[in-house]
Amino acid sequence: MNSTDDGTISARVVFAKELARQRRLLGISLVELAKLCNYEQSYLHRLETGSRLGTLEAAQSLDQVYGTGTHIADLWKLAKEEAKRDRYGNFEEVEAVATSIQEFCVSTVPGLLQTSGYAEDQLRAAETASVEEQAAGVVARIKRQDILTGKKVIAYRALIDESVLKRPTLDPEVWTGQLEKLIEAAQQPNIALQVVPFRAGLYRLLPSSMKLLWLPTGQTVAYVESSWSGQLIEEFEDVEQLRLSYDRLRDSALSPSESLDLLRRSLEDHTSCLTPPSI
């Protein structure tokens, strides 16, 4: 992001430009800087071009090299705080261009696999939007599913905690439709759907939901979401830790075929409860 919505330069750009300016003032190359602060040249280059924000520790190390007190670290904090704002809209832009997505949902059906009825119930339950905003949110959510069903589909893997299947909507018909959609999705060649059973016990990703997104640039980013907030994570080290946690959780999940069987049993159990007993 080079500028904010009002046309002003973003804090991230200011941070990157200041790093390059301080190095020029000192009259050293990236190779020399790498030796002074013990960070790789490629890493420092990405900081100066703005392709990475880096860590607070790196900013503090550069402050020491440049003799700038806390100037670099303060700029980093401003850029980090700026990055926390408007995360959801930024995430949707990233998701739209992703070439592959891996997702984990702890308590609700993934948005990319929701029916309009389920999406409407979830947005209503959140109690954070007007009726008009909820309706627009449902339309936008269903539209996002084009990346799975449109002309150019992407590879998608979803892990869902078993608790998702134990929390139906208030309207039984909506839940029937949602289970049917999950069963249909689980049989698509570009989609892998796996259930993390209760017997897997506790795991690191509880209680948040998460997405890993592979971008056309080759970069992988993550989006971690709780009930009240979401955060787009771009730093390689943080994304790598989340990816490893995801891989470990996938090892504990039911296989795609076992998960499909569980979904079918869940639908059968649900519909049997709706059928009145014969006399």
Looking at CATH, the fold of the domain delimited by 87-274 is given as Endonuclease; Chain A (3.30.870)
- In tens, the pLDDT along 150-190 reads 888 999 999 999 999 999 999 999 999 999 999 999 999 99
So what's the pLDDT on residue 172? 96
For residue 21, pLDDT beyond 70: yes
Q: How confident is the model at residue 277 (pLDDT cuts 50, 70, 90)?
A: low
Neighbours of 214 (CB within 10 A): 16
Q: Which residue from 132, 144, 52 is spatially nearest to 93, judged by alpha carbons?
A: 144
Neighbours of 107 (CB within 10 A): 15
- In tens, the pLDDT along 34-92 reads 999 999 999 999 999 988 888 999 999 999 999 999 999 999 999 888 766 544 456 78
So what's the pLDDT on residue 279? 57
Which class is domain 11-84?
mainly alpha
**Is 61 in contact with 40 (CB distance < 8 Å)?**
no
pTM above 0.85, yes or no: no
Q: What contacts 26, CB < 8 A, 6 or more positions away?
A: 65, 66
Going from N- to C-terminal start, the domains of the chain cover 11-84, 87-274
Q: How confident is the model at residue 227 (pLDDT cuts 50, 70, 90)?
A: low
